[in-house]
Amino acid sequence: MINSSKNKVEFFNKLFLIENNWENVFYVHTPFCLQKCYYCIYSSKVPSSKEEMKGFYDHVIPRQIEQYKNILENVTFDQIYFGGGTPTIADPGILEKIYKRIPGFIDIPLKTTEASPYTITDEHIDLFHEYGFAYVSFGVQTLSKRILEKQNRFVVSKEKLIHICRRFDEYNMISNIDLIFYLDTGDLDDLEQTRQDLEEMMSTIRPVSMTLHSNYRSQKRLEKRTAMIRLINQMIHKYPVYRCVNSLLEMSDAEYDMMNSAEYRLMRHQENFNFYMLPKIPQSHAYGHNILSIGEYGSIKPRYNYYYIFDFMDKYILKKFYNKSKTLNLDFERIRTKIGLAHHDFTTNDKFFIDETGKEKFKEILKHTRYPYYEL
């Protein structure tokens, strides 16, 4: 097993400066949420106090930014993503301080962030516009007050959701709302509530984008996946202004999608928008993107990657993961081509390094560490 976390800073500060053919992504993790939803599988915790949060934003994040200052000043990043957790748990003034600390932040072409409909304010939205964010994603999951309370989640009114989406529309930013199928009983009986949710979303709330996926904690069954795809197709037929931009929604793909926990993204405009988490299979974002992450906090360690190096995989698992990610991206490109949308063409060039010099430099750096080099 490779364990590169211990010396990750030194390791990345050498390797990340080697030019490559992939897109560079800077990921900033927020480890806090106001509450821990029962369905959640992501890395976050409820802060013990305001002092704990203050310490994170005043000391932890600034220190980690400083650790990678050389990379941030010398590498051209294509995308930055603020995830969590709940980035909007922090006041706009605190977030702005982080933006100002990141070298070259203003020049990163694609800025994206997660948010919570419960914590986001008009001041947050104004801040995102001021700093050129293109995409803001917030989880609603369902409009059912009963189900939200059952899942230990705060309830947000439909009126507030409409207001949030209209504010993003004013700034021509993409508002994305996440909805989760099978969040109540975990079975087919849940579909009627999801149908009602989609009806309200597509007719009244009208986010630019919706990401639809099934409850990761509920039992997987082909019957449930086919019913989910069928309902999405019905709703698109009823509201043709929305189109699925990352899947063909074919029944022949249902079993494959079920096994890979596929997500389906519906958009009503800006359909050519594309970023590293757009493919319908969440795991597929690893291929074609070189990710540097900060926001490690205690046992919370956001995912990062480097050419063939992960700190939680041995070489056999890694090879399987890498090849699967490449295959999934080929499938994503096929889908986008078929429906006439842009894609990244990462798989047309199977080389990470720009030339052999970069590869040899990479190997030379690894020779002076305990990390092996794996040729895939």
Query: What whole-number distance in Å separates Cα of residue 285 and Cα of residue 325?
Result: 7
- In contact, 193 and 144? CB cutoff 8 Å: yes
Question: Hey, what domains does the chain have and what are their CATH numbers?
Answer: 135-272 (3.30.750)
Query: What whole-number distance in Å separates Cα of residue 51 and Cα of residue 54?
Result: 5
Q: Position of tokens 């022949």?
A: 252
Q: What is the pLDDT of residue 2?
A: 45
| Integer CA distances (angstroms), 142 to 46, 87, 153, 275, 373, in order | 22, 21, 10, 25, 46
CA within 13 Å, CB half, 137: 21
pLDDT, averaged across the chain: 90
Tens-digit pLDDT profile for residues 114-147: 999 999 999 999 999 999 999 999 999 999 999 9
Q: What is the pLDDT of residue 288?
A: 87
- In contact, 346 and 22? CB cutoff 8 Å: yes
Residue numbers of the chain with a pLDDT score lower than 70: 1-6, 304-315, 348-349, 370-376
Q: What is the pLDDT of residue 66?
A: 97
Q: What is the pLDDT of residue 140?
A: 97
Query: What whole-number distance in Å separates Cα of residue 56 and Cα of residue 58?
Result: 6
Q: What is the pTM of this model?
A: 0.94
Residues in the chain: 376
Q: What is the pLDDT of residue 374?
A: 64
Q: What is the pLDDT of residue 151?
A: 94
Query: What whole-number distance in Å separates Cα of residue 332 and Cα of residue 24?
Result: 19
Q: What is the pLDDT of residue 71?
A: 95
What are the structure tokens assigned to 57, written together? 């934003």
Query: What whole-number distance in Å separates Cα of residue 209 and Cα of residue 348?
Result: 28
Name the burial class of residue 32, with classes exposed (0-12), middle (13-18) and buried (19+) by CB atoms within 10 angstroms of its CB. Answer: buried
Query: What whole-number distance in Å separates Cα of residue 174 and Cα of residue 165?
Result: 9
Q: What is the pLDDT of residue 164?
A: 98
Name the burial class of residue 174, with classes exposed (0-12), middle (13-18) and buried (19+) by CB atoms within 10 angstroms of its CB. Answer: buried
Q: Tell me, what amino acid is at 314?
A: D
Q: What is the pLDDT of residue 122?
A: 98
Q: What is the pLDDT of residue 43?
A: 79
Q: What is the pLDDT of residue 321?
A: 79
**Phi then psi dihedrals of residue 244, to 5 deg:** -80, 120
Instruction: Name the DSSP letter for residue 183.
Output: -
- In contact, 306 and 15? CB cutoff 8 Å: yes
Q: What is the pLDDT of residue 311?
A: 57
Query: What whole-number distance in Å separates Cα of residue 308 and Cα of residue 319?
Result: 8
Q: What is the pLDDT of residue 136?
A: 98
Q: What is the pLDDT of residue 371?
A: 67
